[in-house]
């Protein structure tokens, strides 16, 4: 063993002598420091799970040369004794834009001005927001001020990048070594490839104009990169070339919101790419869906501030969901750990000075210290594939470490030094007066209890006499302590002032004191030497504080907002007894009839059915119907239009389902169980739709119909030719142009299919793939329409290419061409009585639905509106008045007929054995304005219950009061608060951006 140690020392010395510096100098004599630095007697946290008590390590040339319980100390070593101190690996921020300035500008609105549709750059990808060739190194400048803040917070390395674009290019790994050169600091100049859903500020190119457009564009990039790599392109594309070169790097996705984490993972899954994803710190709200991504997360520690709710009127403006997030956010790291989700912390969007406080807050809320340390060291190192260089203290790794007075995660611990690449960064002087502890303070015949905490340079003091807490203030400078406490006579503003020159040993501090009356005397402060007892008290206090904090955390609900469920509804076996059953089938309306639902299906229909283990619901005097189906809606989506191109067939509403839209719950309260969420009408060929069940509280994927029929939104009229826009450079501008566009795109789609089927190499085009599905009858068109001439035109275009239009929606002049629609096979989904809200609607009449129905057209009444969706039962009733449609047929306009238009009538839309148990129990005749949905079921689970709704209203108010009180208490404690801003809910429509 001794021989090995001597050989090791010889190696170190020889390597120093042989090292050559190849840079010339013209500024004086060059010397080289050949000393080694040895740190001994420290408690070394090698990594989150490995500790060496009274350990040693050697630093040479910025790296750790040796580490262990006992290491032979080479000659010419500088030895630093760290007895009583602890050493941790310095932290790593895996997501940063340190030293890089984001470009300004960009933007662009397709609805105004002179939008830019094409790219600016030549030799690069067709879309300017794809910039994989960007190198962080080319824009990097070491930021001394920001580096100092990060150093003070314990960071030694940052992974920085250009935060601009959908594909942002490569990042770089930088050591925060203020003494080094740029070359010294760069650990890797190609550390990872970064992606996002946000456009580049370097370009005003309109597309993509939506989140779903960004997702579609990213998918197309993956297709194109593969095609390019296989030699499909005739020209060089520097962007695709760089993208392919970057595929071997870690892929970091800046999602930045809970739903976008799921969306990013969805794109990655399609192309077998596992992203490391930046979240928003609220992952606990959908923890099961987050867990299912299998992604490593980068989690901010930027907990929201409380609202200033002193004005009770303003308090009513704050959403309960925002109040709950404030209360629950500190539990997010603990929840991630409990669910086995790997994560790293970041200071992204955080004032770095708040970093440690927030980290300690997460620990108070249940995060264990090992996981916290891993999230700052080993996990970031693993993400960047640099485990042997950073993140832990081992031989060969960079000498990046912190020296502390004790457990880093104890709020009273002082961080003395942060060494980066073997260079010391002083934070607090280890030899300065560390006064922390409890003392017996004796002055003028009284004995006070004094407790000092906080940083060495900024200590905090608490002084008590008996059970009375006194005002006190302390400062330390140049080994002198100044202490002021208030007199025991609180009726007078009198003080006792004390000053002392601090000794090397801080067990006894003594000096001069000046009493309130001016008398000069002496004082002494004896440190209470009961470290073990103090530690027990501290641990007990921490335990009690943690229990108290966690007791104040309100439960997470599904979704985590007003009217969220404590647990998700489950399928039940239910027997409805003695209902008036609107079957929607040939059986018509059945009086005093029972319906049994089991395993999510309608099991039996009849009289005097036996219950078995079913829950019995007495439906006497009530009406049981199939759930309402809305063929045309824009609720439950984060975006509706992709207006950046005249065709957006590649985008999908399924990508942007928002399961937390309160309109879902409100529509359930109106008996709606199925909705087709349609793309808007900004362009002739819109995007693919999403057909969802209103499973309030579930994830987006769980809401979408399994084996969902495929639909796409087309549009005609004023919107698509931009009649009401200020845009003049996008084709088409006329109704004639709209027809030509359809013809052109379907001609291209046929050519694309021929090339695809030829067996030769072809470029996968997601837009063309969608149009080919239409040509082959695999995807159905629901077309926004008003004017008869355009309705005729599109039917002729479809017939020319040998397919049919499935549904004309709006179709307010359908009564003029109902016979032709019936002949073509098109259905009509219309409003009951909307008219005259714009020029092309001036010929609308409330008899439209009845007339189309009489001509054999399958007719549905839709909402196109979140508010109207809550009362579609009443909209259906209007067709009884306007046109004399029977009540049974009118009810089919919002149940069975939309099911037929959506090709779902084998599953939903009527009460028939074997169909999904999507049912509504009404308090009254379902077409009556007095009818309320008492229970709304989806697949045998109750998603709305009128009685439970009343209880939820009370619970919402109870939670608001609890959380408002907590926020007021936070303000009273001096914590930061934010001003209340009234946030109006934005309702999306056909022309929404």
> pLDDT digits over 804-845, tens only?
999 999 999 999 999 999 999 999 999 999 988 889 999 999
Q: Are 571 and 598 in contact (CB under 8 A)?
A: no
H helical segments located in 19-165:
136-139, 144-152
Residue 322 parent element (H or E): helix 320-328
CA–centroid distance for 669 within its chain: 28
pLDDT on residue 456: 78
pLDDT of residue 8: 42
Give the per-residue SS3 of 878-901. Answer: HHHHCCCCCHHHHHHCCCHHHHHH
According to DSSP, the β-strands at 297-300 and 276-278 are parallel
DSSP 794: H
Closest CA to 182 of 145, 136, 140: 140
**What pairing do the DSSP bridges indicate for beta strands 437-443 and 520-527?**
antiparallel
The model's pTM is 0.91
C-alpha distances out from residue 536 to 447, 506, 540, 543, 836, Å: 24, 22, 6, 10, 77
User: What angle is formed at CA 862 by the lines to CA 857 and CA 868, rounded to 5 degrees?
Assistant: 155
Q: What pLDDT score does 694 carry?
A: 98
Residues in the chain predicted with pLDDT less than 70, given as ranges, are: 1-35, 106-113, 433, 488-492, 504-506, 529-546, 725-728
Determine the Cα–Cα distance for residues 729 and 738; give it in Å rounded to an integer.
Answer: 14
- What DSSP character marks residue 284? G
Of 626, 558, 668, residue with least CA distance to 945: 668
443's CB contacts (< 8 A; 6+ apart) are 496, 498, 513, 521, 522, 523, 524
DSSP SS3 for 261 = helix
Q: Which residues contact 622 (CB under 8 A, 6 or more apart)?
A: 579, 580, 921, 922, 923, 924, 934
- Beta bridge partners, 419, equal 401, 424
Backbone angles phi, psi at 143, to 5 degrees: -100, 100
Q: Are 462 and 469 in contact, with CB atoms under 8 Å apart? A: yes
* Cβ neighbours, 10 Å, residue 567: 9
pLDDT the model gives residue 555 = 96
* Cβ-contact 594, 608 below 8 angstroms: yes
């Amino acid at each position: 063993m001794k021989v090995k140690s001597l050989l090791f020392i010889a190696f170190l010395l020889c390597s120093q002598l042989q090292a050559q510096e190849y840079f010339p100098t013209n500024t004086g004599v060059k010397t080289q420091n050949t000393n080694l630095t040895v740190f001994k007697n420290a408690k070394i946290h090698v990594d989150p799970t490995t500790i060496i008590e009274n350990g040693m390590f050697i630093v040479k040339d910025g790296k750790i040369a040796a580490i262990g319980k006992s290491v032979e100390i080479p000659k010419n070593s500088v030895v630093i004794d760290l007895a009583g101190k602890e050493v941790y690996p310095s932290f790593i921020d895996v997501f940063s834009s340190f030293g890089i300035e984001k470009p300004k500008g960009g933007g662009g609105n397709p609805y105004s001005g002179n939008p830019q549709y094409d790219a600016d750059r030549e030799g690069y990808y067709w879309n300017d927001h794809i910039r994989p060739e960007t190198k962080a190194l080319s824009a990097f400048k070491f930021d001394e001020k920001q580096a100092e803040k990060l150093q003070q917070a314990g960071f030694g390395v940052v992974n920085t990048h250009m935060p601009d674009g959908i594909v942002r290019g490569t990042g770089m790994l930088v050591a925060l070594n203020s003494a080094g050169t740029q070359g010294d600091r760069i650990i890797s100049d190609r550390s990872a490839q970064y992606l996002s859903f946000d456009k580049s500020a370097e370009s005003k190119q309109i597309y993509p104009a939506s989140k779903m457009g960004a997702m579609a564009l990213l998918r197309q990039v993956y297709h194109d990169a593969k095609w390019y790599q296989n030699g499909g392109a005739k020209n060089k594309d520097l962007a695709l070339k760089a993208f392919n070169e970057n595929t071997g790097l870690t892929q970091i996705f800046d999602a930045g919101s809970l739903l976008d984490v799921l969306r990013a993972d969805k794109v990655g899954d399609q192309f077998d790419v596992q992203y490391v994803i930046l979240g928003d710190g609220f992952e606990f709200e959908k923890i099961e869906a987050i867990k299912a991504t299998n992604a490593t997360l980068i989690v901010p520690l930027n907990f929201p501030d409380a609202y200033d709710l002193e004005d009770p009127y303003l308090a009513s403006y704050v959403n309960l969901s925002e109040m709950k997030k404030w209360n629950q956010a500190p539990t997010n790291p603990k929840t991630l750990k409990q669910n086995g989700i790997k994560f790293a912390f970041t200071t992204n969007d955080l004032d770095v000075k708040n970093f440690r406080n927030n980290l300690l807050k997460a620990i108070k809320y249940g995060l264990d210290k090992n996981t916290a340390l891993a999230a700052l060291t080993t996990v970031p190192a693993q993400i960047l594939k640099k485990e042997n260089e950073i993140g832990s203290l081992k031989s060969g790794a960079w000498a990046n470490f912190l020296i502390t007075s004790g457990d880093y995660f104890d709020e009273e611990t002082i961080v003395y030094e942060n060494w980066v690449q073997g260079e010391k960064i002083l934070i607090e002087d280890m030899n300065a007066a560390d006064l922390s502890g409890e003392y017996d303070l004796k002055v003028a015949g009284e004995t006070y209890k004094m407790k000092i905490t906080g940083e060495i340079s900024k200590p905090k003091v608490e002084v008590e006499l008996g059970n009375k807490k006194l005002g006190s203030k302390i400062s330390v400078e140049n080994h002198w302590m100044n202490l002021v406490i208030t007199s025991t006579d609180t009726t007078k503003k009198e003080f006792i002032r004390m000053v002392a020159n601090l000794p090397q040993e801080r067990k006894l501090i003594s000096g001069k004191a000046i009493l309130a009356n001016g008398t000069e005397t002496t004082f002494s402060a004896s440190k209470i030497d009961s470290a073990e007892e103090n530690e027990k008290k501290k641990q007990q206090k921490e335990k009690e504080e943690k229990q108290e904090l966690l007791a104040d955390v309100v439960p997470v609900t599904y979704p985590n907002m007003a009217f969220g469920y404590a647990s998700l509804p489950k399928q039940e076996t239910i027997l409805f007894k003695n209902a008036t059953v609107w079957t929607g089938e040939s059986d018509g309306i059945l009086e005093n009839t029972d319906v049994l639902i089991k395993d999510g299906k309608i099991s039996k229909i009849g009289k005097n059915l036996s219950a078995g283990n079913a829950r019995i619901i007495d439906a006497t005097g009530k009406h049981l119907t199939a759930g309402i189906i809305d063929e045309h809606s824009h609720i439950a989506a984060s975006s509706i239009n992709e207006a950046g191109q005249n065709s957006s067939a590649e985008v999908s509403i399924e990508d942007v389902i928002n399961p937390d839209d309160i309109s879902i719950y409100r529509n359930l309260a109106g008996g709606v169980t199925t909705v087709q969420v349609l793309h808007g009408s900004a362009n002739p060929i819109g995007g693919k739709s999403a057909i969802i069940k209103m499973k309030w509280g579930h994830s987006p994927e769980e809401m979408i119909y399994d084996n969902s029929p495929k639909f796409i939104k087309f549009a005609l009229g004023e919107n698509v030719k931009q009649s009401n826009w200020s845009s003049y450079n996008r084709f088409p501008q006329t109704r004639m142009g709209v027809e030509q566009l359809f013809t052109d795109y379907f001609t291209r789609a046929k050519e694309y299919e021929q090339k695809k089927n030829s067996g030769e190499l072809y470029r996968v085009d997601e837009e063309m793939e969608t149009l080919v599905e239409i040509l082959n009858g695999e995807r159905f068109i629901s077309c926004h329409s008003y004017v008869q001439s355009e309705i005729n035109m599109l039917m002729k275009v479809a017939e020319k290419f040998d397919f049919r239009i499935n549904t004309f929606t709006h179709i307010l002049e359908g009564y003029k061409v109902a016979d032709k629609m019936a002949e073509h096979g098109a259905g009509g989904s219309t409003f009951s009585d909307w008219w005259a809200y714009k020029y092309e609607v001036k010929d609308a009449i409330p008899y439209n639905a009845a007339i189309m129905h009489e001509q054999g057209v399958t007719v549905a009444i839709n909402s196109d509106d979140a508010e109207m969706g809550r009362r579609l039962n009443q909209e259906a009733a209007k067709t009884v008045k306007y046109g004399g449609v029977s009540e049974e047929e009118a009810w089919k306009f919002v149940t069975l007929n939309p099911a037929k238009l959506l090709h779902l009538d084998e599953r939903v839309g009527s009460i028939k054995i074997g169909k999904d148990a999507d049912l509504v129990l009404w308090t009254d005749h379902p077409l009556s304005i007095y009818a309320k949905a008492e229970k709304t079921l989806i697949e045998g689970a109750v998603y709305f219950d009128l009685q439970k709704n009343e209880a939820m209203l009370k619970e919402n108010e109870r939670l608001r009061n609890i959380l408002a009180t907590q926020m007021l208490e936070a303000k009273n404690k001096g914590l930061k608060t934010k001003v209340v801003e009234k946030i109006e809910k934005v309702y999306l429509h056909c022309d929404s951006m």
